[in-house]
Every structure is written in C-alpha cells, then in structure tokens.
Amino acid sequence: MSLWSRISDAISALAAGESLTVVFDRLRTPPERTVAFTIAVIALSAKMAKADGLVTRDEVTAFREVFQIARDDEPGAARVFNLARQDVAGFEEYAARIRTMFAGERAALCDLMEGLFHIAMADGVYHPNEDLFLERVAELFELPEADFRAIRARFVEGAPRDPYAVLGVSRDAPLDEIRDAWRRQVRDTHPDRMLARGVPEEAIKLAEKRMVAINRAWEEINEARDHADRDL
C-alpha cells in the first residue's frame, strides 16, 4: 500500500468520526509515523492557508513540492487534500496530538514547522495572521522560542537574518560552541536522520533550504570572528 493510500485511510477514519487520539495512537511507530507526519503537515497547512483568508494555487503547488508527489500518486494525494479540507477539528487539537506523538523529539517537530513555513511562503507573502498561527503552533509543540526564530529566519524574507539565530546560539558564545551547534544541525539534516525521525522520503526536500542556511550562517560567523581577531 502506498504512502498516500495509507494516509487516505487514516484521514477517512477521522472524517468518519474516529477521534484524533485513536487514529494517532495507531501511527506511533515506524513506518506509520511517516503517515502521521504527512497528515500533520496536510491538516495544519490547510488550516494555516485560511489564516490569511485565501487558499492560493501557489500554496497547493508548494505542498506538492515538499512531498514530491509522483504522477501515479496524484489521485490519492488529491483525495487526502480534499478530506483534510472537510475535517472540522481545530488546528490546536492537531498540534497537541502531534506534540504528544513526537514528545521529546525536538528535531522532528522542527521538521514539521519547516514544512509549514515552506507552504506559508509559497505566495511570497508572510501574512501577519500566518505568523500568529505558526507562533501558536510552535507554542503547542513546546518548541523553544529560539527554534521558532531560527526557522522563521531561514524562510521569511525580511525576517532578521541573524546567523546566530539560525544556529540557535547566543552572539557571545565561544566559536567552539558555535561550531558544535553547526555540526549538530548538519548531522540532524542528513536524510537518514530525517527518515529515522518519521519524515517521509517524499519530503526530504525539506532539508535543502535548512542545509544552505546553516552552512551560510556558520560561514558568516566564522568570517566575522576571523576579521575581528585580525583587527585586534
């Protein structure tokens, strides 16, 4: 059974009246966690898309980019999207269930937030209501504020592009500590690590923007520190 067929079955159960608790309890362990990850992005992005009052073709296209939908899977993916639009559960309920499922797995929750940011930025505009929505989701995920700011800095044009924020370190941190944070993020961005966290193979493209951003942040900090040392 394909990923999209399994997702469609799970969302059909929700549409038929099964509770989120029951459905997500069935999706706690690999490989079914990939289903839970995808449902979370579908459900939360569908609700987020309404935050700015408009669901655009760009946002639908962005979802397709994130999940690399094969032509044979397009009918199943379309059905999943339609079922998600019909679901009446509030986004806070979804976010709370996802937090419980991925409890203690900060990296997996950050993966989810990146998928939502990718879709939010598809139309080139970061609406204030989208910011409020995503900030609330991050709170429900119990992500540190620094993680939320780092993800926003990687995706949103005009957001503070502080390389220290991207790496989640303080501006006065020793260079060795910053290097360790950069290396840790590089390791966490490896496709094998992401697959182990439950990110579907179809969504590994999520890592590309992160890798570019964290490498650029490290280069900027390293060069700035090097210039400062030479100026002393």
pTM of the model: 0.74
Q: Which residues does 7 contact at the CB level (< 8 Å), separation at least 6?
A: 35, 38, 39, 42, 76, 80
d(CA 1, CA 50): 31
- pLDDT string in tens for the chain (232-residue length): 566 677 777 777 776 778 777 877 787 776 777 777 777 777 787 777 666 655 556 666 666 666 666 677 767 666 666 666 665 567 888 788 888 888 888 888 888 888 888 878 877 788 888 899 999 999 999 998 888 988 888 888 766 568 888 888 888 899 999 999 999 989 988 888 888 877 777 667 777 778 888 999 999 998 888 777 666 5
**Which DSSP string corresponds to 108-152?**
HHHHHHHHHHHHHTTTS---HHHHHHHHHHHHHTT--HHHHHHHH
CA dihedral 224, 225, 228, 232 (to 10 degrees): -170
Residue 74 and residue 68 in contact, taking contact as beta carbons nearer than 8 Å: no
Structure tokens at 77: 């993916």
Helix (H, G, I), strand (E, B) or coil at 102: coil
3-state DSSP helix/strand/coil % of the chain, to nearest 5: 70, 0, 30
